[in-house]
A and B are shown apart, each in its own frame.
Chain A
Amino acid sequence: MFHRESGVFKTTYAADMALYPLPIAKWTMIALAVLFVLVIPLVVHEYYLSILNLIFIAIVGALGLNVLVGYTGQISIGHGAFMSVGAYTAANLAVRFDLPFWITLPAGGLMAALIGAVVGVPSLRIKGLYLAIATLAGQLIIEWTINHVPAISGGAQASIQVDRPSLFGFTFDTQGRLYFFLLFFAVLAIIATLNLVRSRIGRAFVAVRDQDIAAEIIGINIFHYKLLAFAISSFYAGVCGVLYTYYFGIANYEQFQLIVSIDYLAMIIIGGLGSVLGSIFGAVFVTLLPIAIRIFMEDVGSLFLSQGELANVISGLRLAVFGGLIIFFLIVEPEGLNRLWRNIRSYFRVWPFSY
């Protein structure tokens, strides 16, 4: 990750596809694991852990959307609705049948995958903006259904409270404990996606994205792989929804409205379509940057303004700066933060002989 070679020495496909191209990459991973598992939870204040928790959940959702949009090239604006499917499935199972999270979480994911595959059916006939509208319809239908079917929503308030997740009598109730809970699933999602995209399925996805007719001619079953992409992506979304449910202690469809789908699309576009690291960068960027800008403005602004005046200025200015930064990064590198990172790395790979 942070290492560099002095040139390109790979001679086999296997070497090129390896997760750890050099021994040092493995050491970097171990160092990162120690940092996230041992150092951060012990050293960092709970407040920062809570931000990391939000980032972990966002990473799971962004990875799922990237599998669909980035790797398979199918646009979806129904991601938020798939999250709510996972959330309500898990909440109903947890409350009505008193099931633990290690059953409700995969169940929520699977239910979302099922619904996602159904919503993905139009992708077999339409592409691009048309598909975007079809998935938008999916989002609205799911929202409406949850709002109007008390059997799913649990009454007029359409919200179901769930207890904190627990394992062998250990309850994940504080931010510090939830940190480990969410870190585990974020890491699992990252590893799963890394391996998915270098498998036969991942290559088929990329072939469909690049030119679906050509993919069909070389023997890829479009019907199978497009729906599989929707199902896998929705599975991630469902799990993301379940994580939100356990994190907030409530399933509420108003948390998963259209704007959430747009936010996740923004994450993967800023981070980089078709890359795992890009999804992570995007999730971090969209979650962390508004907070960082606000804290910076509070510190600087309080030198000049009273707290009331500061509050009047900050929220509008913060949005403007955030929007400005998105535009700036996308102009510097239209392919997202991941490409920016790779450019920096390849520059240093041959540095100082940049020719």
Chain B
Amino acid sequence: MTRFVKSWLGVAATTATLALGGAGAFAQSKEIVFGFQCDRTGPTATVGTVLCPGYQDYIALVNSKGGVEGYKIKVIEIDNEYKVPPAMEAHERYKKEGAVIEGLYGTPQTAALNKKLEEDKMPGTSPGFGTASAADGKRFPYTFPIAASYWSQVGAAVEFVKERLGTLKGKKIAYLFYDNPAGKEPLAILEDLAKSEGFELRTFAVPAPGLEMGAQVLDITGRYKPDFVIAHLFGRSPSVSIKELKGKGYPLSKVVSLVWGSAEADLIAAGGMGVAEGYNTMQFAGVGKDYPVLKDIEAMYKAQGKEPPKEMDSTVYYNRGVFNAAIHVEAVRNAIKAKGGAMPTGEDVKKGMESIKGFTLGGFVPPMELSATDHEGGGWVQIWTVRGGKLVKVKDWFQGYRPVIEKQLAADASKS
């Protein structure tokens, strides 16, 4: 028996040596592997088909300029179709290929991989996905939201409303939300702020798939008559909300939407930019084409004799892809520099991520500071409003009610 076990151990050892040998040869060619999950074919394909090309284009741009600190980047993009088992398969694949960083896609997928990321010491980013409590780097050491969580977003939304209305005391705010965990998450912050700021809050839940909200909107416009509406919807439902609110005669300039109801695609689906005039959108990456990094991508395509891809016109989601890639590259750059040019591990990239600071790409990325405790980077957002057929920036990078968010994070951490 021992002999038998030994012989199998021998086989295993040989395989392992071969695998390691392969990996060694890999490293010599100065290539570094990034994993990126995407959904181009599932329920959020409208986002993925634009966002993921943005990610790929920025990586191509970095590679065309010689890579990151001399390393060429190989991206393994895996379409998880917004399903959880394929996301696990993708993560294991990245581990096998020696990836040092992983882009997550989808809230349930992020939830399912949190533990795995920590066990495998692989930093994963989830901008706009996952739970708000993942901002706490102590509890989730390898999960990086890198963009404003829903808590920070709703805090910023209330801040914006306060600026528009002058004061919040005695005002009425309606919260129109998609009835799923992501939609309900900001309620804790809203209720807290309603008490401290003295405004009246009423919530209106829209059940999945969110295509029918006539009753809720009628309730808002006809009966409640709020001073402002904060909308937190996903998929097709933001466009429905714009149409319904407009149809019932509610001024869209008194509506602010959180980040997943804020793209050109939503506005066009609602009947065009003209219909959505005045609608306020929240953004965690720059909007429009007026940034040096996007000009560089266009120049890269022109140099290859190609037209820039049509996805670039859908700037909100495309730019979020570019944003995600830029943060990945920056974290890996920090990690390689810290190791004096040697190949970084997942742990090094985690530290690289936590030292990102003052990286703005010409206003494209918020002035965030990641640290070992704050994986959200401060929760910065911008407000862009539809004016004259296009999105116009009306409020530059800002944080809303940061102490309230931090208090909530601490309370959540002590609960578990």
Q: Which residues of A line the B interface, CB within 8 A?
A: 38-39, 42-43, 45-47, 50-51, 54, 57-58, 147, 156-159, 161, 173-175, 244, 247-250, 252, 254-255, 259-260, 287, 290-291, 294, 298, 306-308, 311-312, 314-316, 318-319
Chain A residue with Cβ nearest B57:
A308
Contact of B112 among A250, A294, A311 (CB under 8 A): A250
Most B CB within 10 A of own CB, among A50, A161, A259, A315: A315
- Is B96 part of the binding interface, using a Cβ–Cβ cutoff of 8 Å? yes
Nearest A-chain residue to B9, judged by Cβ: A42
* CB pairs A–B below 8 angstroms (15 shown): A47-B96, A156-B187, A156-B188, A161-B416, A248-B84, A250-B111, A252-B84, A252-B108, A254-B111, A255-B112, A260-B83, A287-B85, A311-B77, A314-B79, A319-B41
**Counting CB contacts under 8 A, is B56 at the interface?**
yes
Per the bound structure, the CA–CA distance linking A306 and B64 in Å amounts to 12
Given contacts A157-B185, A254-B107, A314-B79, is CB(A50)–CB(B89) below 8 Å? Answer: yes
User: What A residues does B79 contact at CB under 8 A?
Assistant: 294, 314-315, 318
Which residues of B line the A interface, CB within 8 A?
Answer: 8-9, 11-12, 15, 19, 38, 40-41, 52-53, 56-57, 59-60, 74-79, 83-86, 88-89, 92-93, 95-96, 107-108, 111-116, 119, 131, 133, 179-181, 184-185, 187-188, 416
> Are B78 and A294 within 8 A (Cβ)?
yes
Known: A173-B119, A249-B115, A259-B83. A45 touches B53 (CB 8 A): no
Q: How far is the CA of A172 from the CA of B114 in the complex (A)?
A: 17
State the Cβ distance, A101 to closest chain B Cβ, in Å.
16
Asked whether B9 lies within 8 Å of A159 as measured between CB atoms, the reply is no
Please indicate the chain A residues that have their CB under 8 angstroms from the CB of B184 in the complex.
Answer: 156
Given contacts A58-B85, A174-B119, A248-B113, 10 further A-B contacts (CB under 8 A): A42-B11, A45-B19, A159-B131, A159-B181, A248-B88, A248-B112, A250-B112, A254-B107, A311-B53, A315-B79
Q: A51 to B92, alpha carbons, bound, how many Å? A: 9
Residues of A within 8 A of B133 (CB): 157
Report whether B88 and A54 are in contact in the complex, using a CB–CB cutoff of 8 Å. yes
Contacts of B74 in A (CB 8 A): 307
With A249-B116, A306-B60: A147-B181 Cβ-Cβ less than 8 Å = yes
Q: Which of B8, B108, B115 contacts A254 (CB 8 A)?
A: B108
Q: Chain B contacts of A247 at CB under 8 A?
A: 88
- B53 to A, closest residue via Cβ: A312
Within 8 Å by CB of A46, from B40, B76, B92, B114, lies B92
The answer on a CB contact under 8 Å between B92 and A47 is: yes
Chain B proximity of A111: nearest CB distance (Å): 21
Inter-subunit contact B12/A43 (CB<8 Å)? yes
CB distance from B192 to the nearest CB of A (A): 13
For A158, the chain B residues whose CB sits under 8 A away are: 181
Q: Nearest Cβ in chain B — how far from A242, in angstroms?
A: 15
Say what secondary structure dominates the interface of chain B: helix
**Min CB gap B311→A, angstroms:** 9
A260 vs B43: C-alpha distance when bound (angstroms):
13
- Report the Cα distance A42→B321, complex, angstroms: 40
Closest Cβ of chain A to B301, distance in Å, is 11
A54 neighbours in B (Cβ, 8 Å): 85, 88-89
A254 adjacent to B181 (CB under 8 Å): yes
B121 CB to closest chain A CB, in angstroms? 13
- Decide if B131 touches A308 in the complex (CB within 8 Å): no
B12 and A307 contacting across the interface, CB-CB below 8 Å: no
Chain B neighbourhood of A307, CB < 8 A: 56, 59-60, 74-75, 77
> 10 closest A-B pairs (Cβ-Cβ)?
A308-B56, A249-B115, A315-B79, A254-B108, A50-B92, A47-B96, A248-B112, A315-B40, A311-B77, A158-B181
Q: Give the nearest-CB partner of A158 in chain B.
A: B181
- Which residues does chain B contribute within 8 Å of A298, judged by CB atoms? 76
CB nearest to A47 among chain B residues: B96
* Minimum C-beta distance from B39 to chain A (A): 8
Chain B residues whose CB sits within 8 angstroms of the CB of A316 once the complex forms = 40-41
Contacts of A255 in B (CB 8 A): 84, 108, 112
| Contact B85–A43 (Cβ < 8 Å) | no
Q: Are B115 and A248 in contact (CB under 8 A)?
A: yes
Q: How far does the alpha carbon of A18 sit from the alpha carbon of B113 in the complex, in Å?
A: 44
| B92: contacting residue among A43, A173, A175, CB under 8 A | A175
CB of A295 to closest CB in B, whole Å: 9
Taking CB atoms, residues of chain A closer than 8 Å to B53 are: 308, 311-312
In the docked arrangement, what's the CA distance between A42 and B16, Å? 10
CA–CA, A248 to B110, complex, Å?
A: 10
CB neighbours of B9 from chain A (8 A): 42
Given the complex of chains A and B, what is the CA–CA distance between A154 and B375 in angstroms? Answer: 24
B184 to chain A, nearest CB (A): 5
B59:A308 contact, CB within 8 angstroms = yes
Contact of B115 (CB < 8 Å), options: A43, A161, A290: A161
Q: Which residues of B contact A58 (CB under 8 A)?
A: 85
User: Which residues of the partner chain B approach A159 to less than 8 Å between Cβ atoms?
Assistant: 111, 131, 181
A159→B110 CA distance, assembly (Å): 12
Contact assessment for A45 and B111 in the assembled complex, using a CB-CB cutoff below 8 Å: no
User: Complex: how many Å from CA A181 to CA B218?
Assistant: 53
Q: How far is the CA of A290 from the CA of B42 in the complex (A)?
A: 14
Known A-B contacts A252-B111, A311-B56; the reply to A46 vs B84 at CB < 8 A is no
* Min C-beta distance of B235 to chain A, whole Å: 13
Of chain B, the residue at the smallest CB distance from A319 is B41
Please, which residues of chain A bring their CB within 8 A of the CB of B75? 307, 311
Complex-state Cα separation, A249 to B116, whole angstroms: 8
| A57, A156, A260, A319, most chain B CB atoms within 10 A | A156
Write the chain A residue with the least CB distance to B86: A290
Q: Which of B40, B57, B107, B179 has the most CB atoms of chain A within a 10 A radius of its CB?
A: B40
Report A-chain residues with C-beta under 8 Å of the C-beta of B181: 147, 156-159, 254
Return the chain B residue nearest A307 by Cβ.
Answer: B75
| Complex contacts, B52 vs chain A, CB 8 Å | 311
Chain A nearest CB from B19 CB (Å) reads 7
Min CB distance, A59 to chain B, in Å? Answer: 13
Q: Which residue of A lies closest to B107 (CB)?
A: A254
Task: Name the residue in A45, A50, A174, A291 with the highest tally of chain B Cβ atoms < 10 Å from its Cβ.
Answer: A50
